[in-house]
Amino acid sequence: MARGPEPKDQAELTGDADSAWQALSAALATKKPPCIGESRFIPDELSQPQQAELAVICAGCPILSQCSDFAGQVAPYRSAGFWAGSSRGRHARGDYKRRREVAA
């Protein structure tokens, strides 16, 4: 999770996903996860060694629980990349470039 996901508007998230987003946002307001600004967490495809390295970083994250909850509640294209110790779905078309720019 190089940076928290940014829904275009809250209408995109409903039910459990909205609650998970709120919890993740609150956690990000008070804690800095080690993935912030790290573009290594963004690619759709990572080698096994890359995934293992990122999983170690995630294991010590102060917001691992909130990250995992959110990534598990949203559609795979919204949580694409590497979240909460595991590789997630693929980015929606055009989203990868935007997330790379945000992480830079």
Instruction: Tell me whether residue 79 is in a domain.
Output: yes
Percent residues over pLDDT 90 in the chain? 38
Instruction: Tell me whether residue 63 is in a domain.
Output: yes
Dihedral-angle region of residue 14 (phi above 0 means left; psi in -120 to 50 means alpha; beta otherwise): beta
- The Cα–Cα gap between 97 and 59 comes to 27
Instruction: Tell me whether residue 31 is in a domain.
Output: no
Q: Which domain holds residue 85?
A: 39-104
Contacts of 40 (CB under 8 A, 6+ apart): 2, 50, 53, 54, 82
- The Cα–Cα gap between 24 and 43 comes to 21
pLDDT tens for each residue of 46-96: 889 999 999 999 999 999 999 999 988 886 656 678 999 988 866 655 544
Query: Count of domains in the chain?
Result: 1
Instruction: Tell me whether residue 48 is in a domain.
Output: yes
Indicate the pTM of the whole model: 0.70
Instruction: Tell me whether residue 76 is in a domain.
Output: yes
